[in-house]
Amino acid sequence: MIDLYTWKTPNGRKISVMLEETGLPYDLKPIDIGHGEQKAPEFLAVSPNGKIPGIVDHDAAGGPLALFESGAILTYLADRHGSLLAPTGPARYLAMSWTYWQVGGLGPMLGQLGFFSRQKEPNQAAIERYSTECGRLLHVLEDRLSASPFLAGDAYSIADIAAYPWTFAARSMLAQALPEDARELPATTAWLDTVGARPAVQRGMAVPA
């Protein structure tokens, strides 16, 4: 059994979507980040950085394995299940490129844009900086999806699972903070529709309820 430590955020939902896609059985352990539960010693033992998501795989080869960082968890679960990431070759490394791009770029930049646009006293320089960078990243995504049905090529992979919850957030709660020309991009819309129609994605995006 896998314990999933998560909350109602895009980074958490990458992993609930992945677990739903693979069908690996999991036990949900909600960590309310609005109440500081991510800094509790029991959770820090799983995720020393004090951020969700985290997992503990009690059936890992060699004994229970605690993992944090969504990109590492997605890679582990794909290898553990044998799906959604090619075992070797170019498709594997393309999926890793787009997964790292999401974890190191799109996610943090949209997160900062959300933070600065929610402040009572707006910092215009910060909003401008993150809005411009998010717009640029969304155009990078659009260019890729104009050339390829999925981020790693012809097959749906962990790269799409990593990018979906944040792109969904960019289209919904963050849309007003984005440059106008990045709000509605056609290849991204088609990809959001395709990925969002998957039953496992719908189930995973509702976790925790």
Ligand X SMILES: N[C@@H](CCC(=O)N[C@@H](CS)C(=O)NCC(=O)O)C(=O)O
Number of residues that bind ligand X (CB under 6 A): 12
Residue 99 binds to ligand X (criterion: CB under 6 A)? no
What span, in angstroms and rounded, lies between the C-alpha atoms of 132 and 154?
30
Please pick, from the candidates 70, 75, 99, 157, the single residue that binds ligand X as defined by CB under 6 A.
70
Q: Which C-beta is closer to ligand X: that of 93 or that of 100? A: 100
Cα–Cα nearest to 68, from 3, 127, 156, 135: 3
Residue 69 binds to ligand X (criterion: CB under 6 A)? yes
Q: How many CB atoms lie within 10 A of CB 88?
A: 7
Please pick, from the candidates 29, 51, 144, 198, the single residue that binds ligand X as defined by CB under 6 A.
51
Tokens of 51: 């951020």
Candidates 50-58, 125-133, 134-142, 168-176; binding stretch for ligand X (CB under 6 A): 50-58
Residue 6 binds to ligand X (criterion: CB under 6 A)? no
- 109-136 b/e (C-beta count within 10 Å ≥ 16 → b): bbbbbbebbeeeeeeeeebeebbebbbe
Residue 29 binds to ligand X (criterion: CB under 6 A)? no
Residues of this chain that interact with ligand X (CB under 6 A) are 9-11, 33, 38, 50-53, 69-70, 103
